[in-house]
Amino acid sequence: MAATSTSTSLSINQRRWKKFKGMRRGYYSLVILLGAYLLSFLLPLMINNKALLVSYEGEWTSPAARDFFGSLPFVGGLAPSSFDPGERYGLIGEQSEADYRKLQLRWEEEGSENYVIMPLYPFSPNEDITVTGNEKFIEPLQVDGNDNTRIFGTDDVGRDVLARMAYGFQVSMSFAILIAILEYLIGIPVGAAMGYFGKWLDILMQRFMEIWHALPFLFLIIIIVSFVEPTFTLLTVLLVIFSWLGIATQMRAQFYRERSRDYVAAAVSIGVSTPKIIIKHILPNTLVPIITFFPFAVVGGISALVSLDYLGFGLPPPTPSWGQMIGVGLSNITKYWLVVVPFGAMFTTLTLVVFIGEGIREAFDPKVFSRLR
């Protein structure tokens, strides 16, 4: 194959990046997915039943911004932190959280100087029929009791499907990325140590990993979660405990092969310290399969979470999650949108991740198959 590039000054990684960008599909998938994920951190300002801005008797407040800052450190939708009771805005006798949609209508009717600016889509993922205006099983694009259009309808307890789907995206992605990173943090050092040091450490760890491999891991997680109240942390720990093996196995094989190369022997003979050999000399040579595997680790995390949520052993309710939504849809099988919407979201997300993965794999693959006919 004749190289078309005339420039020779590009480093290997720059060339890979160029190749990756050259494959439009993977590159655009990355742009879209990354953009959507970053944007999803702004969800409390875009899809929320709390006002972006309330101007009441000359005073400005922003309950949505408070939600936004409250949700920042981690995922988990809308923590019911501090709130403004309805009384604060002149709804006499209302001790509970102000209903900003109602407030807006009321002030508009009164023609008062106070006003409310609502987010783009003024519904929360967790508000159900207990809030006036919400109804069960509203079909997509139909209106609710307050004449508001529900783009993807509502579910069996009157929660907005679009809002839940959007927040579910944020939860799924954060969860999957976190798990993939933790898997790598455990798998890489363990696999490297096994491959590099070998001997009893390798034999012992291999036995251990064989045992771990034989376990039906998702099933065990379900058993454990059925005993213990699930939390975000517990689920993360459990999934990582059972899924770091793949990375470790790959790393072990890579290190095992690289260790016998001449450049390692050379480094040892001039007295380079062991940590330096491992980190500076061998590690960079072993990262290619690990990097190309990352998107698929994310896929695995999303699938595992969706499956656990569907069975009811995932994140504690009412966390918005695609698995729980599909589960509700399956028990209300005539309400097609309850399954189609979360599945569509999951399908789109996973497809984008797969396209990114394919792009990366292609960009890193030096192998060119040639065939004589």
Partner 1 sequence: MLQYIIRRILLAIPTFFGATFVVFFLVQFAPGGPYEQQLNALRKGQGSEGAGSAIGSENMSIPPSQLEALQRYYQVNEPIWARYMMWLGLYPRPTNDYLAELDEPRNVGGGFRVIVKKKSDGQLAVYSAENPTEELSDWYIDPSSKANSVWVYQRTISGIFTADFGTSFHYRKPVTELISERLPTSLQFGLISFVITYVVCFYLGTQKALRHGSAFDVVTSSIVFIAFSIPGWALGAVLLVLLGGGSVLAVFPTGGFQSNDYETLTLIEKIADRAWYFVLPTIAYTLGGFASITLLMKNSLLDTLGQDFVRTAYAKGLRENRVIWMHAMRNSVIPLVASIGGIIGIFLAGNYLVEVAFNIDGIGKLSFEAIVSRDSNVFFAFAVISIIITLVGSIISDFMLALVDPRIRFS
What contacts 24+ positions apart, CB below 8 Å, involve 143-148?
146/101, 146/105, 148/101, 148/122, 148/123
Instruction: Please report whether residue 355 would count as binding partner 1 according to CB under 8 A.
Output: yes
Rounded CA separation 161/225 (Å): 26
- In order of 184, 230, 318, the CA distances from 223 in angstroms are 25, 11, 21
Nearest approach, Cβ of 56 to partner 1 (angstroms)? 45
Stretch that binds partner 1, among 8-16, 44-52, 168-176, 341-349 (CB under 8 A): 341-349
**Contact with partner 1 (CB under 8 A): which of 59, 87, 210, 365?**
210
**Contact with partner 1 (CB under 8 A): which of 12, 31, 143, 215?**
215
Nearest approach, Cβ of 312 to partner 1 (angstroms)? 8
Peptide bond into 318 cis (omega under 30): yes
Residue appearing with tokens 């309710």: 317
Dihedrals φ, ψ of 150, to 5°? Answer: -100, 110
Nearest approach, Cβ of 343 to partner 1 (angstroms)? 5
Instruction: Please report whether residue 202 would count as binding partner 1 according to CB under 8 A.
Output: no
Instruction: Please report whether residue 207 would count as binding partner 1 according to CB under 8 A.
Output: yes
Count of residues near partner 1 by CB under 8 A: 49
Nearest approach, Cβ of 371 to partner 1 (angstroms)? 5
Nearest approach, Cβ of 211 to partner 1 (angstroms)? 4
Q: Which residues, 319 to 338, sit near partner 1 by CB under 8 A?
A: 326, 329-330, 333-336
**Contact with partner 1 (CB under 8 A): which of 105, 186, 201, 354?**
354
Nearer to partner 1, 120 or 214 (CB): 214
Contact characters 277-316, partner 1, x per CB under 8 A: -------------------x--x--xx--xx--xx-----
- The helix-helix angle for 337-364 and 161-197 (nearest 10°) equals 30
Instruction: Please report whether residue 216 would count as binding partner 1 according to CB under 8 A.
Output: yes
Nearest approach, Cβ of 63 to partner 1 (angstroms)? 35
Contact characters 217-256, partner 1, x per CB under 8 A: --xx-xxx-xxx----------------------------
Nearest to 346 by CA among 297, 301, 294: 301
Nearer to partner 1, 100 or 337 (CB): 337
Instruction: Please report whether residue 346 would count as binding partner 1 according to CB under 8 A.
Output: yes
Nearest approach, Cβ of 105 to partner 1 (angstroms)? 33
Stretch that binds partner 1, among 100-108, 128-136, 212-220, 272-280 (CB under 8 A): 212-220
Nearest approach, Cβ of 303 to partner 1 (angstroms)? 5
Residues that bind partner 1 (CB under 8 A): 207-208, 210-216, 219-220, 222-224, 226-228, 296, 299, 302-303, 306-307, 310-311, 326, 329-330, 333-336, 339-340, 343, 346-347, 350-351, 353-355, 357-358, 369-373
